[in-house]
Amino acid sequence: MHVDTHSKVSAPGRKLGSANFLNQQRLAQSCVANDVLARISLRWKMSVLFSIESGAGTFAALKRTHPNLSDHILAGRLRELRREGLIDKDERARRHPVYATTERGQSLLKIMAALCAWGEREPATAGA
């Protein structure tokens, strides 16, 4: 997990020193999967990545695909996906940059597809 040492907030928006932040750090240290799950589970993140892979490559196309997603959150998710190397931004068309998944992003989407398939085969049980 990336921690900005110049502010009092971690990359996912947790306050440094808060119980949630400290618990998240401990979980990440015990197993890298916990850190990965925390990073990819942010609201809208995988939906935006999937939409880019499916052809919604501009900000406007992503807004049409996700009309309830605020511009602020969408811009933040795009920054995170770029920072993590999951998408690229082609700025040659200055007016409307185009986003595309990277090989790293495509490999994550394959894992997510397998996870979704598992979830469909193994539905959650009530009270478990």
CATH code for the domain of 82? 1.10.10.10
Residue with tokens 């200055």: 94
Report yes or no: 13 and 43 within 8 Å, Cβ to Cβ.
no
Give the pLDDT confidence of 12-31 residue by residue, as tens digits.
555 667 887 777 677 667 77
Q: Within this chain, do residues 81 and 102 fall inside the same structural domain, yes or no?
A: yes
Do both 52 and 23 map to the same domain?
no
Structural domains of the chain, count: 2
What does the pLDDT read at residue 39?
82
Q: What is the pLDDT of residues 50-79, one digit of tens each?
A: 999 999 999 999 999 999 999 999 999 999
User: Residue 78 domain-assigned?
Assistant: yes
* Structural domain of 99: 42-121
13 and 53 belong to one structural domain: no
Selection from 93, 14, 103 nearest residue 59 by Cα: 93
Instruction: Please give the model's pTM, rounded to 2 decimal places.
Output: 0.73
- Helix (H) or strand (E) holding 60, with range, is helix 59-65
- Whether 127 maps to a domain, the answer reads no
Same domain, 37 and 51: no
One domain for residues 74 and 37: no
pLDDT tens-digit map of 28-53: 677 778 778 878 888 999 999 999 99
Same domain, 35 and 49: no
CB distance 40 to 46 below 8 Å: yes
- Whether 63 and 47 share a structural domain: yes
